[in-house]
Amino acid sequence: MAWPAIDSEELWFESRYAGFGVAVSRRATVGHTYRAAVPPFIADLDPTVSSATAAVVDEATEALVRFDAGLGGEIAAFAPLLMRSEAAASSQIEHLTASARAVFTAELGDTSRQNAAQIVANTRAMQAALDLADELTTETVLSMHAALLDGDPNHDAGAWRDEPVWIGRSADSPDGADFVAPRAERVPGLIDDVMRFARRTDLPRLVQIAVVHAQFETVHPFTDGNGRTGRALMQAMFRGTGVTRNVTIPVSAGLLTDTAGYHAALDAYRAGDVEAIVTATAEACFRAVQNASVLVDDVHAVQERWRATVRSRSDSAVWRVLEVIARQPVVTAGTLAVALGPAVNVYRALDTLVAAGVLRAKSEYSLRSRVYRSDEVLAALDAFAARAGRRG
C-alpha cells in the first residue's frame, strides 16, 4: 500500500500577547484558528521503495559497514573525532557553527562561546544515543534530549512539549507557517508509535532509519532541539541495528552538503513519499563515508609527520601523549594527567612536543590554565567541516 500522507486538524491559537494590550498591527495574531499536522501511526506499516532505490540502499549500507569495520583497530583514535564531527555537522544544519578549536576548548570548560558550548552538548546527546542504542524506547529519546539541553533556561530538557511549535515565518504565531507540528497532546502516543517502528527487525535497516527520522521530525516532540535529537536517534539506530559497531558515521555531514534537498525530502515524506527521504539518507551516507575517509587519511598524515619530527625513545611517554592528542587535540596538563594516570610526567612530555613544534601552548584566561593544542589535527577537522558545508 502507498505510504499515508499526514492529515491536519483545525485548532485555536492564543497568542502570548493576549491580555497585555497589543498594537493594532498585531491584534490579528492575538487569537486565530490554524491547522496542525495529524501524522498517521506507522508502527505496523511496511514502507516500500523502488528496486533502483533498494539497490542504492544496499550499496550505502555496505559502504557504512565497510568503513566501520575498517576502523575496528583504530577505535581509540577515530571514534571520538568522528562523533564530534557528527555532532558539529548536525548542529550546523541548525545554523550553529564553531571552529574545532572552539569546540574542544569548550569541552575543557570554556563557556564563553555559546555555539561551541551547544555543539559540546550535542556531543553529549550523541553519546547518550550510543549508550542507549540497545534500548530504542521513548525513554531513550527523552534521555538524548536531556543531555542536549541540560541547563538550558529557556526549554525543558528531557520533557515533551506542552505548546504548539511550527517551522518558518513568524515566531509569534503559526499563521502562514511552512509546517505546524501536531498538537502537544498527540506527542507521547506518536513517539511511542515511531519507537515501536524503530524496534522492528523485519525491515531494511537504512529504510527503517530514514522513515523513523522523518516521522520523528514530523512529530517535533520538543520546543527546541528536535533536529539534533532526531539525528542522534539515527546514530542510535545505526548502532542498535548493527550497521555500525565501532564508530559514529557522520551522516549529518552528508545531509549538510545538501540541506535544501534534505528539507525537501522531509516535506515529501509528509505528503506520502517515502522514497525521497530514503534516497536522501542513502546519498548522505555515501558522502559521509567519503568525507570521513579523507579525515582519517588527513589524521594519519599528521601522525606520520609527528613520527618524523619527534626524536624520542619508542617507550617515551611522549607517544602516549600523542595518542591522546590525536583524538583530543586541545588539552590541559590536568586533563592529560587524568587520561594517562599519575605514572606519566605529562609536563615533560608536553614541553618536548612544544619544543618540537608539534603542539602550541597558550594561557587561556577563561580556563585559568595553560592549554596545549595540535593545530594540524584541528585543521583536519575544520577541513572536514568545510567539505560538508559545500552545497551540492
Task: Categorise residue 19: left if φ over 0, alpha if ψ from -120 to 50, beta otherwise.
Answer: left
- Give whole-number Cα distances, 325 to 83, 87, 250, 289, 303, in Å: 16, 19, 21, 23, 10
Contact present, 346 and 370 (Cβ < 8 Å): no
Report pTM: 0.90
pLDDT at 332: 92
Given a cut of 70, the residues of the chain with pLDDT beneath it are: 1, 16-30, 76, 169, 365, 367, 390-392
pLDDT at 27: 44
pLDDT at 28: 47
pLDDT at 364: 77
Structural domains of the chain in order of their starting residue, each with its CATH number: 40-294 (1.10.3290.10), 300-382 (1.10.10.10)
**CA nearest to 318, candidates 372, 363, 382:** 372
319 DSSP assignment: H
What does residue 33 show for φ and ψ, rounded to 5 degrees? Answer: -85, 160
pLDDT at 21: 47
Question: How many angstroms separate the CA atoms of 62 and 58, rounded?
Answer: 6
Question: How many angstroms separate the CA atoms of 292 and 253, rounded?
Answer: 9
Question: How many angstroms separate the CA atoms of 372 and 320, rounded?
Answer: 15
